[in-house]
Each structure stands twice: as C-alpha cells, then as structure tokens.
C-alpha cells in the first residue's frame, strides 16, 4: 500500500476578505461635486451627511402630562400675580454658558454677575421673572461638573433658571439624565450636588414645554444632540415632540382667537439662521414652520443659542394677508463667546435680512407688555456692560 506523502501542503493561505467598496478616499463619502439629490444612495452611508447625522440622534425623553407649566409653577402664585399687576414681564435669555471649573473666573461668571445686577430686591415684581437658558448648560463629559459649570457660576444670581437642553446636554445618556434631574424634577428642592449653594432644581414637565405667563407664552423645544444641524423630530427622535407642538400651538391660537393676545416666543438650542460658528438649521425650521402653517399661528420672536455670539435676523412671513416681521435672535455667548461672526448687511429682496452681529460675551433681555415686545442685547466684559442692540415689535 502506498504511503501518503509527508510533505507539507502547498495550499495558499486565505487572505482576509476585502470590503467590496474598499477604504473611502476621503473621511466621508459626501465630499464631491454632485448635488445631494443626484447622488446614488450608498449602503450604510446614504446620500448625504445629513443621513449619517439623523441616524446618530437620540430618542427624545417623554414629558409629563401635557407639557404645560405656568409662571406660578416657577416662582409661585403670589409672585406671578405681582408681576401681572405691573403690566410688564421681563426675561433674561442666553445660552452656551457651561465653562469648565478651571476657567471659572472667565466671562461665564462675569456675565452671570452682570445679569444679577438687573435684579432689585426692593422691587422684585419689576425684576426679571426668570432666566430662559437656551441650552448647553454642561460641556464636560462628567455630570458631576454641574457643580462647577452651573451651580457655582450662578451662586449669586437670584432668579430661577428655566432651560431647554443643548446638543452637549443630550449627547450622552448620563448627561441627559443629569439635565432631567436638575431641571425636570418632581419639585423644587436643593440637590446634594449644590452643597452649600442655595439653588433649587426646576420642576419643568420635560425637555420640551410651554410656559404660560402674564403677557407671554414661551414654547421651548429640544433640537437634539447633533453638533449641527438641529432636529425636533425624525427617525430616532420620533414624532411626539412635533405632534405636541402642533397641539400646543392649536391651543395658543384658540386662546388668541378668544381675545387673549400674548406674545408668543419660540426657543431652540440650534438656530434657524446663523452666520458664524454654526450654520442655520433649515430642516428644523421647516418642521417648525409646518406646525405654524397647520395651526395658523407664528412666533412673535424666535430665540436660539449654539453659535457663541449675538445675532439678529428679521424674517418676513405672509399670514392672512399680512406681513409679519419676526426677529430671530441668536444669544449663545453666556459663557462661551468671542466666536467670529459674519458682517450684517441687507440685500434687496433677501429674507431674512441679517441685521446685527456682536462678537464677544453677553446676554439678552426681553421686556413684554400687552402692546409690545422689546428685545435688548448686552455685551459684557470684565470692566463693563453695554447695550449693543435693541428692537421692538408691536403686538397687535
């Protein structure tokens, strides 16, 4: 019987299988001159960068009940009634405040101290009702940084702080949980993280909400966790926030039709329009516009952060035979600031017009009566505070 050869096998070793497409030439597959609508849809990647971003968003946390809160829920009925009796309400507005504790003596604290000087203990009813925070309370990865990035910087600020999450507040589950812990608590209590600092948690119904106050209604929306752009609905975020917005605006419209004319303010972290730091979020704006068109009511002003500057745009919208002039304000330099911004200027026929820009640190104040909404922005530096912009909208 012949014996089998003991020579080693000459079979070639198997090489790892290569991807059919191979490595990408560039860091992303969307770097080409073909318009997005004309690109072939690539498996996994889609047609455009937006496809990847939308697939990386986070689900939006559920809210409590109808998502409505009153000024009395924030500062108590007696104080809310006192503000109503003055025939005016004042709000502080800013975003992008969180600065690492090692940089604690930077402009975040200086801006907070400048805002605190707008309060008068002898005239609490004419002081700002609260601070509307436009998101990015916390930048660092550790939720424990709330002590250094939020509680300590505002230890001398006497007002309550109502907030919507920014992209950095929602970029990780632990950070979103922390935001809800400190802003969407069951009641206003001093959390252990605050230590000896007396600042209570806020009792918002969720990460998006509608606040009803004397002379004003504010709709705060969560524009999700992407660096850019913003989204209020979609695949992972779902449709509940958009559906809620439509229902809420219907209620606002019904109240207005009955003669209760209040200023209507919208707030998102991502700006619909921006000329510096971050671009505008056209998809988000289209979603919000759709809700306005469905319900027949539009905001009197729209506030956002994200870009670390102050910017003002004026958008013309045709509604019921009238032309609304809606200011879109970016006020995202309450802690992070000094970001380069484009030069304002109007072009014949442009919509919106780009009316104002400020490169630095600062905040915005809104003063609202039955007849008018005045929006004033301030620039702040270590030695001074100055008014840099103001616009007034008549409320018909």
More confident residue, 353 or 347: 353
User: What distance in Å separates the CA atoms of residue 335 and residue 58, rounded to the nearest whole number?
Assistant: 25
Give me the domains of the chain, ranges plus CATH numbers. 58-394 (3.60.21.10)
Q: Give the HSE-up count for residue 296: Cα atoms under 13 Å, Cβ half-sphere.
A: 9
Report the pLDDT value the prediction gives residue 151, as an integer from 0 to 100.
96
Report the pLDDT value the prediction gives residue 1, as an integer from 0 to 100.
47
Q: How many residues does the chain have?
A: 396
Q: What angle do CA 235, 138, 358 make, to 5 degrees?
A: 95
Average pLDDT in the 231-252 region?
95
Contacts of residue 289, defined as CB under 8 A and 6 or more positions apart, other chains included, come to: none
Q: Report pTM.
A: 0.89
pLDDT band at 18 (very low <50, low <70, confident <90, very high): very low
Residue 371 has pLDDT above 80, yes or no: yes
Q: What angle do CA 114, 198, 135 make, to 5 degrees?
A: 55
> Nearest 10 degrees: CA dihedral of 161, 162, 163, 169?
50
Residue 35 has pLDDT above 70, yes or no: yes
211-229 pLDDT, tens per residue? 999 999 999 999 998 888 9
123-146 pLDDT, tens per residue? 998 999 999 999 999 998 899 999
Average pLDDT, the chain: 90
Q: What angle do CA 378, 381, 384 make, to 5 degrees?
A: 75
């Amino acid at each position: 019987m012949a014996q089998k050869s003991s020579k080693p096998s000459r079979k070639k070793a198997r090489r790892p299988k290569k991807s059919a497409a191979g490595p990408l030439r560039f860091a992303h597959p969307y770097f080409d001159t073909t318009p997005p609508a004309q690109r072939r849809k690539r498996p996994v990647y889609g047609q455009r960068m937006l496809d990847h971003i939308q697939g990386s968003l986070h689900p939006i946390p559920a809210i409590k009940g109808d998502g409505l809160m009153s000024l009395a829920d924030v500062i108590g009925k007696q104080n809310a009634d006192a503000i109503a009796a003055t025939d005016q309400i004042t709000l502080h507005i800013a975003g992008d405040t969180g600065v690492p504790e090692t940089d604690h003596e930077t402009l975040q604290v200086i801006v907070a101290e400048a805002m605190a000087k707008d309060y008068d203990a002898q005239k609490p009813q004419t002081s700002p009702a609260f601070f509307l925070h436009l998101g990015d309370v916390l930048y660092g990865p550790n939720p424990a940084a709330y002590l250094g990035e939020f509680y300590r910087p505002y230890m001398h600020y006497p007002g309550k702080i109502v907030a919507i999450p920014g992209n950095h507040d929602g970029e990780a589950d632990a950070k979103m949980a922390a935001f809800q812990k400190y802003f969407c608590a069951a009641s206003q209590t001093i959390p252990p993280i605050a230590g000896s600092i007396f600042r209570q948690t806020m009792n918002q119904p969720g990460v998006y909400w509608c606040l009803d106050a004397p002379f004003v209604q504010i709709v705060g929306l969560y524009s999700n966790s992407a660096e850019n752009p913003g989204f209020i609905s979609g695949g992972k975020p779902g449709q509940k926030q958009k559906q809620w917005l439509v229902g809420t605006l219907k209620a606002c419209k019904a109240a207005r039709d009955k003669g209760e004319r209040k200023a209507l303010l919208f707030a998102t972290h991502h700006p619909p329009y921006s000329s510096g730091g971050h671009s505008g979020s056209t998809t988000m704006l289209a979603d919000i516009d759709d809700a306005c068109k469905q319900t027949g009511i539009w905001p009197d002003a729209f506030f956002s952060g994200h870009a670390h500057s102050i910017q003002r745009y004026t958008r013309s919208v045709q509604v019921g035979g009238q032309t609304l002039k809606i200011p879109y304000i970016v006020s995202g330099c309450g802690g992070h600031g000094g970001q380069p911004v484009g030069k304002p200027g109007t072009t014949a026929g442009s919509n919106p017009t780009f009316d104002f820009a400020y490169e630095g640190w600062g905040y915005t104040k809104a003063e609202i009566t039955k007849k008018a909404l005045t929006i004033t922005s301030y620039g702040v530096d270590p030695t001074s505070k100055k008014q840099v912009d103001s616009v007034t909208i008549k409320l018909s």
